[in-house]
Amino acid sequence: MSTVGPAIACDDLLRRFGSFTAVDHISLAIAAGEVFGLLGANGSGKSTTIRMLTGILAPTAGRIVVDGVDVLRDPLAARARIGYVAQKVSLYPNLRISENLAFYGGIYGLTRRAVQARIDECSPWLGLEAGEMRALARELPAGARQRLAILLALLHRPRVVFLDEPTAGVDLGHRRALFDLMHTLAAEGIALLVTSHHLDEMERCSRLALIDHGKLLGVGTPDGLKETLGGGRRFAVRPRTADLAAAATVLRAHGLRVEMEPATLHDAVLAWITAGDEGRLRDAAARIPGGVTLTPAPPSLGAVFTEIVAARRARGSVGAAP
């Protein structure tokens, strides 16, 4: 069933726990066919946002519409349209996987035949083997459990799927496979909202939102956010003879922001400078024993996020943590 307008939309979403504001007036619109990411540190409000969007947690204020249904007015109808992959897969450990699937299918009003048809349809691209269907839930390794969680979320053919840190504790190969799967589902017109701590995964989202202490800092494509929110230029500083730690010490002494563990550049420290301060970087580089080479480097998503959060906190706009 197609709907007019965004597949997921929330307006001025607010959630308070006593005096603490966990989600602070967030508004989002996510289209069908998008893999949309929520990026933020622990306690930033990601999971609380998803719990409100799925109808599990009532907001303090705001409006939520999922697949054309007002979640606050008709939560049961909304949940029937939603697939949800929680941080921890809820399975009955002493039941076989096939029995778990039959049970959850029954919750959605599906017959065993309908459940089996959905398993047959999804198993090829989920990589689930027939032997895994006969295994007890407690016997499954982490990767298989996550694939099963996806299958549970897709049993009733939802048009909207929420995934709350679905790759936690899963190895790199399974993480990549899961995001490949999400893009396969998006190509079928399904809207997916995913949270993750892995920045390389967020780079693969169609769009994403940056959240810190419940506030929305920016929304856009990964490249667009890096371009508009970076707040400065980034240089690879490669010492010719000095070690990296010594070079970093000199850069920091000149007031430059330094990353010591770049993800993609070898034998370099990365320095951020604001507009008009390139001379300060070159002055610092001249004081590094043995000299250095300076190369402009594209910003990483993690560096941009760290930069804008640090700038926001320096302005004193972040409240106390709970």
The answer to whether the beta carbons of residues 22 and 205 sit under 8 Å apart is no
Same domain? For 50 and 178 the reply is yes
Same domain? For 76 and 131 the reply is yes
Lookup: tokens for 4: 């007019």
Mean pLDDT across the chain:
85
| Helices 112-126, 142-154: inter-axial angle, 10-degree rounding | 130
Lowest mean pLDDT segment, chosen from 191-195, 222-226, 302-306: 302-306
Look at residue 225 and tell me if it is in a domain: no
Look at residue 318 and tell me if it is in a domain: no
The dihedral through the CA atoms of 195, 199, 200, 206 has a sign that is: positive
Cα R_g (the chain), whole angstroms: 23
Closest CA relative to residue 178, chosen from 132, 147, 199, 137: 147
What is the total residue count of the chain?
Answer: 322
Look at residue 46 and tell me if it is in a domain: yes
Same domain? For 207 and 249 the reply is no
User: What's the pLDDT score for residue 322?
Assistant: 33
Q: What is the CATH number for 290?
A: 3.30.70.260
Same domain? For 269 and 210 the reply is no
Look at residue 303 and tell me if it is in a domain: no
Confidence at 231, pLDDT banded by 50, 70, 90: low
Same domain? For 26 and 147 the reply is yes
User: pTM to 2 decimals?
Assistant: 0.78
Look at residue 292 and tell me if it is in a domain: yes
Same domain? For 214 and 242 the reply is no
Residue 257 identity (one-letter amino acid): R
Look at residue 235 and tell me if it is in a domain: yes
- Which structural domain range is residue 113 located in? 8-220
Lowest mean pLDDT segment, chosen from 4-13, 56-65, 85-94: 85-94
CA angle 86, 225, 234 (to 5 degrees): 120
CA distance 233 to 299: 8
Domain end point (choices 220, 243, 268): 220
Confidence at 7, pLDDT banded by 50, 70, 90: very high
Same domain? For 209 and 286 the reply is no
Same domain? For 16 and 124 the reply is yes
The answer to whether the beta carbons of residues 239 and 287 sit under 8 Å apart is no
Tally the domains of the chain: 2
Mean of pLDDT values over 44-61: 94
Q: What is the CATH number for 53?
A: 3.40.50.300
Look at residue 73 and tell me if it is in a domain: yes
